[in-house]
């Protein structure tokens, strides 16, 4: 009995300091908070004449915090789509936005990055900037011989009448002359 009591006292003495330790510190600033205007589910309707894709589509996309708030994830789906034969109306994609915790992004003048993957096998690495509180610009990173991609989201207005617009644009290798491939807009659902 004394042995059991000694073991219990030793265990209590050992575990008490562990229990008294504070939880892991949270970052002083939430780098992703500049993108909080994107959060939620959004209706999306393309504007075929505005982009070279020539598609008319209606769908939804949603931005949400994931992995205990350390990333922002976007998923999308098309409810209806009509486009040219070379346009994939069954397209699905995923965008994951994350902060650079080690400062490796300093050479890009940003601390936010994103990884885009889609059902067509495309992979795009982006740097992310917020030129104003209601705009996010994703600029692709790749070799000079690759085309450039720019994805922009802009929120106009506030409340239930606010409209989120988006543009996916392309530029030829070595050029900064971007042209819209697909543009869309819609309200929060």
pLDDT at 120: 87
Q: How far is CA 177 from CA 11, 50, 169, 174, 180, in A?
A: 68, 16, 10, 9, 10
Number of Cα atoms under 13 Å in the Cβ half of residue 23: 2
List the structure tokens of 8. Answer: 């219990």
Question: Does residue 2 carry a pLDDT above 70?
Answer: no
Question: Does residue 27 carry a pLDDT above 50?
Answer: no
Homologous superfamily (CATH) of 2-187 is Calycin beta-barrel core domain (2.40.128.20)
pLDDT at 160: 86
Question: Does residue 5 carry a pLDDT above 70?
Answer: no
More confident residue, 108 or 14: 108
pTM above threshold 0.85: no
∠ CA 119-169-155, nearest 5°, is: 95
Range ranked top by mean pLDDT from 1-5, 85-89, 119-123: 119-123
C-alpha span between 48 and 59 (Å, rounded)? 14
Question: Does residue 59 carry a pLDDT above 70?
Answer: yes
| Average pLDDT of every residue of the chain | 82
Q: pLDDT tens across 113-160, in order?
A: 999 999 889 999 999 999 999 999 999 999 999 999 999 999 999 888
**Unique residue bearing structure tokens 């959060």:** 39
């Amino acid at each position: 009995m004394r042995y059991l009591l000694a073991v219990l006292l030793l265990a209590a003495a050992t575990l008490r300091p562990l229990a008294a330790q504070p939880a892991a510190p949270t970052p002083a600033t939430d780098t992703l908070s500049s993108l909080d205007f994107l959060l939620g589910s959004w209706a999306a309707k393309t504007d075929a004449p505005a982009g070279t894709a020539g598609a008319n589509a209606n769908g939804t996309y949603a931005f949400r915090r994931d992995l205990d708030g350390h990333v922002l994830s976007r998923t999308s789906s098309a409810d209806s789509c009509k486009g040219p034969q070379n346009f994939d109306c069954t397209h699905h994609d995923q965008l994951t936005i994350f902060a650079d915790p080690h400062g490796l992004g300093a050479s890009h003048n940003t601390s936010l990055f994103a990884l885009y993957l889609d059902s067509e096998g495309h992979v795009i690495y982006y740097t992310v900037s917020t030129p104003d509180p209601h705009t996010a610009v994703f600029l692709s990173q790749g070799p000079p011989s690759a085309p450039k991609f720019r994805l922009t989201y802009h929120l106009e207005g506030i409340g239930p009448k606010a409209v989120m617009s988006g543009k996916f644009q392309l530029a030829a290798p070595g050029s900064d002359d971007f042209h819209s491939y697909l543009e869309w807009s819609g309200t929060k659902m």
